[in-house]
């Protein structure tokens, strides 16, 4: 399937839930079994992060449709962290998961093209074009304008990839700029939504009718989510803010359409970095992570069922 939106929604259908597990490495929060010491620091970082993230992927790959890797959490550990990011992307794909990279990129068009090459397309490396990180989808920031998004759109069309554009983020300060009123009285996030809508038609999948040009909408702002949902009927929403940031499953449900589709809900810390003890053995860590993912799935799916019941009344 060469359309990202179709691939993502096919995975959601197959797994029977729209939950995404976030892989945001924190060396200080990993169980001891994963930590490798003794080699060069960058090799220890690489193998420790990869060891723990393999454990997470082994625990959830048959439960959820995809994973979201937050780039900064890998970058903070330098070259070893970035190598671990590449290892984790590869392992997630080998395990049949849709891979979203959360890098929130945004820059002038020529630089945006380099970002698009790195994550979605191909780069010329020593005279040969080859994929580098090769994920399914990347988060992008819209605040440099349409020309900063276009290189990503072109890569999506050429390589069957997707983007999630920041529309209404989950953090408390998101209203400072995103809710600022424009001259016509609308909020700035509405302008961003309009911009996404103008692109979304180009990348609509034949199977599910959704576009590979998606939007990030935080579960922490359900009222805005309801409004944005109406503005962007064909876009898939990436919904962070569930769990650790206080967003509930009912809040996240506001991001879905009446067909029960149209969004994926992410949880990072609350599923992958909240083990009961750093002393857990691998199999026990796997069991805890799996149980947390199951609880999230049950919570989100039952909120969606309640919403569907309410919508029908
Ligand atoms: O684009 C994102 O994924 C994102 C957007 C947003 O508005 N809020 C937000 O929390 N995120 C990311 O989603 C993840 C949330 O992590 P937890 O709060 O631990 O579930 C982090 O990787 C954030 O960087």
Cβ(264)–Cβ(66) below 8 Å: yes
Residue 311 pLDDT: 63
Q: Is the CB of 225 under 6 A from ligand 1?
A: no
Q: Backbone phi, then psi, for 13, in 5-degree steps?
A: -60, -45
**Residue 255, pLDDT above cutoff 70:** yes
- Please report how the helices 282-312 and 41-60 are oriented relative to each other, as an axis angle in degrees rounded to 10: 50
pLDDT in tens, 192-232: 999 999 999 889 999 999 999 999 999 999 999 999 999 99
pLDDT in tens, 136-187: 999 999 999 999 999 999 999 999 999 999 999 999 999 999 999 999 999 9
Largest CA distance in the chain: 63
37 pLDDT band (50/70/90 cuts)?
Answer: confident
CATH code, domain with 20: 3.20.20.70
**Residue tagged 């359409």 (tokens):** 257
| Distance between Cα 127 and ligand 1 center (Å) | 37
Q: Is the CB of 272 under 6 A from ligand 1?
A: no
Residue 116 corresponds to which tokens in the numbers above? Answer: 């698009």
| Distance between Cα 126 and ligand 1 center (Å) | 35
Q: Which ligand 1 atom lies nearest to the CA of residue 139?
A: 1
- Which residues, at least 6 apart from 248, have a Cβ–Cβ distance to it below 8 Å? 219, 242, 303
State the residue range of the domain holding 75.
4-312
Annotated catalytic residues are 104
1 pLDDT band (50/70/90 cuts)?
Answer: confident
- Which residues, at least 6 apart from 79, have a Cβ–Cβ distance to it below 8 Å? 42
pLDDT in tens, 274-297: 999 999 999 999 999 999 999 999
**Residue 312, pLDDT above cutoff 60:** no
Residue 313 pLDDT: 54
Count up the domains in the chain and report the number.
Answer: 1
Residue 310 pLDDT: 78
**pLDDT (average), residues 265-269:** 98
| Distance between Cα 153 and ligand 1 center (Å) | 22
The complex scores an ipTM of 0.99
Q: Is the CB of 179 under 6 A from ligand 1?
A: no
Q: Which ligand 1 atom lies nearest to the CA of residue 24?
A: 22
Among 239, 286, 298, CA closest to 20: 239
**Residue tagged 């309801």 (tokens):** 226
Residue 182 corresponds to which tokens in the numbers above? Answer: 């424009």
Cβ(234)–Cβ(9) below 8 Å: no
pLDDT in tens, 88-132: 999 999 999 999 999 999 999 999 999 999 999 999 999 999 999
Within 10 angstroms of residue 183's Cβ, the number of other Cβ atoms is 5
Whose Cα sits closest to atom 7 in ligand 1?
A: 169
Q: How close are the terminal C-alpha atoms of the chain, in Å? A: 36
Q: Rounded to whole angstroms, how far apart are CA atoms 195 and 218?
A: 19
Cβ(134)–Cβ(92) below 8 Å: no
Radius of gyration, alpha carbons of the chain: 19
| Distance between Cα 216 and ligand 1 center (Å) | 10
Helix (H) or strand (E) holding 98: strand 98-105
């Amino acid at each position: 399937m060469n359309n990202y939106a179709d691939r993502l929604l096919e995975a959601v259908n197959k797994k029977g839930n729209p939950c995404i597990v976030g892989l945001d490495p924190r060396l200080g929060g990993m169980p001891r079994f994963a930590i490798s010491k003794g080699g060069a620091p960058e090799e220890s970082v690489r193998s420790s992060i990869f060891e723990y993230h393999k454990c997470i992927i082994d625990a959830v790959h048959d439960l959820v449709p995809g994973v979201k890797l937050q780039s900064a959490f890998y970058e903070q550990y330098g070259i070893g962290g970035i190598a671990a990011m590449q290892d984790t992307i590869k392992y997630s794909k080998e395990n049949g998961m849709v891979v979203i990279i959360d890098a929130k990129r945004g820059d002038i068009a020529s630089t945006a093209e380099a970002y698009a090459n790195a994550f979605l397309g191909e780069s010329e490396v020593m005279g040969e074009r080859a994929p580098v990180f090769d994920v399914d989808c990347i988060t992008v920031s819209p605040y440099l304008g349409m020309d900063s998004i276009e290189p990503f759109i072109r890569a999506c069309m050429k390589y069957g990839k997707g983007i999630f554009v920041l529309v209404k983020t989950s953090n408390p300060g998101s209203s400072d700029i995103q809710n600022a009123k424009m001259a016509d009285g609308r909020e700035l996030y509405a302008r961003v939504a309009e911009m996404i809508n103008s692109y979304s038609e180009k990348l609509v999948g034949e199977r599910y009718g959704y576009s590979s040009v998606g939007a990030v909408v935080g579960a922490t702002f359900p009222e805005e989510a309801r409004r944005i949902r109406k503005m962007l009927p064909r876009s898939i929403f990436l919904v962070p803010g569930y769990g650790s940031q206080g967003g509930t499953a009912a809040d996240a449900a506001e991001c879905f359409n009446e067909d029960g589709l149209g969004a994926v809900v992410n949880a990072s810390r609350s599923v992958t970095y909240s083990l009961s003890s750093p002393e857990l053995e691998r199999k026990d860590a796997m069991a805890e992570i799996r149980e947390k993912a199951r609880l999230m799935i049950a919570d989100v799916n039952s909120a969606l069922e309640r919403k569907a019941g309410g919508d029908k009344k």
